[in-house]
Structure 1
Amino acid sequence: METRKLGEDGPPLSVVGLGCNNFGMKLDLADSAAVIDAAIDAGITHFDTAEMYGGGKSEEFIGATLGSRRDQVVIATKFLPRPKDEPYTPGALRRRILEGCETSLRRLRTDRIDLYYQHYPDAEGPVDEALETLDGLVQAGKVLYIASSNVTGEQVDTAAKVAAAKSLPRYCGTQVEWNLLSRTVEQELVPAARAANVGIVPYFPLASGLLTGKYQRGEPYPSGSRLDTMAYFRTVDKKENFARLDALTAFAQERGHSILELAMAWLAGQQGVASIIAGATTPEQVRTNVSAIGWTLTDEDLATLP
């Protein structure tokens, strides 16, 4: 599979990455291992998890499954924010980062985190404290690269300026919710990331399954599907989304492709996108996601997209 460098100075990532948020939540160890094995067989080298996924089980399952294949992949994980009810005092963010790193290293059964994300920006903890703490982890060899997630364009710019002014490692990438039905990030965040040479890693590329064709307007959710089992994601179930979905489906079918292939190929064709985080609950879903990027959209396709 094609690999792309994350931003100006980040690691090379497979264009399709494996989102591991289902591990420990919807999947047990055996099923998670089957998905991991399928991902490696399909050429995926980018595994994205977080301290919070599956209450820590996601990291544990990855660590238990990779074994001797650890060096074949790039493990990305994220540290939890400080508790919302905890008042900020100098050093509080530093302690949270260090605690999170040690916890993740232990669960992943590894001596380093390849790509370490701040999962959410800290409303009170200064960017300086986060970057200085992460710099210490990089200097110690416990972290190789650092990145941001769920930030604004202004926060991307601020972090880049602080890193440059203090000669600290900078965030080489940022994770964003970006798909054909969720495009508000194109107004501010995506341009800011491109201007700062920060790589872009979209998550929820299939809009919680809406861009797979499995959901039909006015019909019950398929049993066991994400929208059926997790109310949190039902915000995508909107009349306007289904109207746009009809137009996008017709666009893809006219060109001999599925809506899922369009969703993945469109993101892969966006400037600055290094890797697309796609979750999976079965080996078959892994293979489907990987095969989807075999379609390269033309300039005419992009210009006429509904």
Structure 2
Amino acid sequence: MQIRNLGGSGLRVSAVGLGCNNFGQRTDLETSRKVIHKAIDLGITLFDTADIYAGMGGSETVLGTVLGDRRKDIVLATKYAKPMATDGTRQGASRRYIMSAVEASLKRLKTDYIDLYQQHEYDALTPMEETLRALDDLVRQGKVRYIGNSNFPAWRIAEAEMLARQMNVGRFVSCQDEYSLVVRGIEKDLLPAAQEYKLGLLPFFPLASGLLTGKYKRGTDAPADTRFAKAPALKDRYATARNEDIVEKLQAFAQERGHTMLELAFSWLAQRPQVASVIAGATRVEQVEQNVKAVGWTLSAEELAEVDRSTK
């Protein structure tokens, strides 16, 4: 497993990360345990969760239950800011909320510190200065090692960078955003911002909810046990005529070179600027094994150019 620095920081993470949103939700405790241990055995070090995953804390609770002594072997990342209550009292990025949210996550995760604490979305109701000062205090207290953001627009990333410099506080070292062969919108503004400010990019939904695995056939119903069948809204979002055209081109491209769609999707992302680790979930041990193997294809400059022509 290749290990990379997360942006301009000294934090090093595996090129493939494990998305933990399935734990406590789509996978039971015993299955989650097998997936977690297999991931560590295969060299995955970055485990990415959030307080809202799996019913308000469910994923963090599973990780805290399973990791035990292996906690020291991983980079544990979680998130705050999205609603943890329906009345609007437990969300956002105010000092008051951050200080309570981190304690709750630490308790569920059964750990003394979080390696990467990420703001899950921008909070327009809280001054960025207040958020950055609170996060810096957590770093100084040893409860958090590094801080990152997720789903921020590019100009908010620039704002946070400038304020951190002015205030002489810790800065974001990463950004986590959707990015794949069929979702490339961040290339216009956000990716250049990440490059300018040396933020490590952690792309999520690398397979566009399964579209880029090649398992969905155009003009046919999705298999009963798949995400598209269980969540028609996902199918409507990703299985557009444009995206299906792209998938057909990419399938032919990969097959001609003796590779799978999964290998193309992961390896392409792994070669993109600023990408530190490709975040991918798994509900079975076999999926973890496939994800780890999928980043082994180094595409040539000519191949990357052909992929660009097929996906834009």
Does TM, scored on the shorter chain, surpass 0.5? Answer: yes
Structure 1 contact 23–57 (Cα < 8 Å) conserved: yes
Comparing 120-129 with 140-149, greater Cα deviation is found at 120-129
Q: For residues 145-164 of structure 1, what are the structure 2 equivalents within 5 Å?
A: 145-164=146-165
Q: In structure 2, what is the equivalent of residue 236 of structure 1?
A: 238
d(CA) in 2 for partners of 1:237 and 1:282? 24
Residue 150 of structure 1 aligns to which amino acid in structure 2?
N
Residue 289 of structure 1 aligns to which amino acid in structure 2?
N
TM-align CA RMSD: 1.7
Measured after TM superposition, the shift of residue 171 of structure 1 is 0.3
Structure 2 contact 81–123 (Cα < 8 Å) conserved: no
- In structure 2, stretches of 5+ residues that fail to align are none
Structure 1 contact 81–121 (Cα < 8 Å) conserved: no
d(CA) in 2 for partners of 1:196 and 1:72? 28
Return the match for 2:300 from 288, 293, 298.
298
Structure 2 contact 52–82 (Cα < 8 Å) conserved: no
Measured after TM superposition, the shift of residue 229 of structure 1 is 1.8
| Secondary structure of the structure 1 residue equivalent to 2:94 | helix
Q: In structure 1, what is the equivalent of residue 204 of structure 2?
A: 203
d(CA) in 1 for partners of 2:41 and 2:291? 13
d(CA) in 2 for partners of 1:290 and 1:9? 24
Measured after TM superposition, the shift of residue 86 of structure 1 is 4.5
d(CA) in 2 for partners of 1:277 and 1:284? 16
Structure 1 contact 117–146 (Cα < 8 Å) conserved: yes
Q: For residues 1-306 of structure 1, what are the structure 2 equivalents within 5 Å?
A: 1-55=1-55, 56-81=57-82, 86=88, 93-234=94-235, 235-305=237-307, 306=310
d(CA) in 1 for partners of 2:166 and 2:31? 46
Measured after TM superposition, the shift of residue 3 of structure 1 is 0.8
Measured after TM superposition, the shift of residue 303 of structure 1 is 1.3
Q: Deviations over 1:2-48 (max 9, x none)?
A: 11111111510100000000111101111111110110111100000
d(CA) in 2 for partners of 1:155 and 1:255? 41
d(CA) in 1 for partners of 2:204 and 2:88? 29
| Secondary structure of the structure 1 residue equivalent to 2:172 | coil
Measured after TM superposition, the shift of residue 217 of structure 1 is 1.1
Q: Which runs of 4+ in 1 moved over 6 A?
A: none
d(CA) in 1 for partners of 2:243 and 2:207? 12
Structure 2 contact 177–204 (Cα < 8 Å) conserved: yes
d(CA) in 2 for partners of 1:45 and 1:57? 21
Residue 7 of structure 1 aligns to which amino acid in structure 2?
G
Measured after TM superposition, the shift of residue 232 of structure 1 is 4.3
How many residues align? The count is 304
Q: Deviations over 1:213-233 (max 9, x none)?
A: 111112121222122223442
Structure 2 contact 209–234 (Cα < 8 Å) conserved: yes
Measured after TM superposition, the shift of residue 149 of structure 1 is 0.2
Measured after TM superposition, the shift of residue 94 of structure 1 is 1.2
Q: Deviations over 1:230-266 (max 9, x none)?
A: 3442311211111110001111111111111000000
Residue 270 of structure 2 aligns to which amino acid in structure 1?
A
Identity of aligned pairs, percent? 48
Q: Deviations over 1:158-198 (max 9, x none)?
A: 11100000001000000010000000110110011101111
Structure 1 contact 60–108 (Cα < 8 Å) conserved: yes
| Secondary structure of the structure 2 residue equivalent to 1:144 | strand
d(CA) in 2 for partners of 1:195 and 1:144? 22
